[in-house]
Amino acid sequence: MQSVLGWFVLFVCFLQGPVRPPIETAHLLVSPSATPETVAAGKKTTLALDITPKPRMHVYSPGQDGYIAITLTLEPNPAITAAKAKYPAGEKFFMPALNETQLVYDKPFRITQDVTVKSRTGESLTINGKVRYQACDDKICYLPVTIPVSWVLK
């Protein structure tokens, strides 16, 4: 029975394709994915970024005034039409040093963005973008960071 389960897990992993390691910064782990990864012209797919702040780190949620909120921006690509990125609601976090309550992400969260493929040429379509954020811990805020992200659709 265990060997059947092992083969099943291997088969599911094969169907999902190669697993790319997450992008690691000093503050976050960022894992891009797309559902579905195989898409035809005229069809929609959802791009996702699973983001995990490192211990004691937080980033600002969109809607937090006065701070640099995390943003996903896709590079222009004539092969797609992109909807607006969707962000989860930030959690209220009281910062004693500033005597302020802020909207932040300090636990794993997901940013999604729907795209519709307008045209296809070749075996794959690469969609590039960037994530910009400013991370802070309980003592200091770090300089803003911009990292490249990409998705490859089949």
* Token representation of residue 136: 């802070």
Element (H, E) at 13: helix 2-16
DSSP, collapsed to helix, strand or coil, labels residue 39 as coil
**Residues sharing a CB contact under 8 Å with residue 21, sequence separation 6 or more, in sequence order:** none
Among 33-37, 83-87, 138-142, the least confident range: 138-142
Checking if the pLDDT of 16 tops 50, the result is: no
* Each residue's pLDDT tens digit, 39-71: 888 899 999 999 999 999 999 999 988 889 999
* Token representation of residue 67: 């701070």
| pLDDT higher at 134 or 16 | 134
| pLDDT higher at 18 or 134 | 134
The owner of tokens 């701070």 is 67
Percentage with pLDDT > 70 across the chain: 87
| pLDDT higher at 96 or 17 | 96
Which sequence spans correspond to the domains of the chain?
Answer: 21-153
| pLDDT higher at 123 or 6 | 123
99-103: average pLDDT = 89
Domain 21-153 CATH class label: mainly beta
DSSP per-residue string spanning 94-108: EETTTTEEEEEE-S-
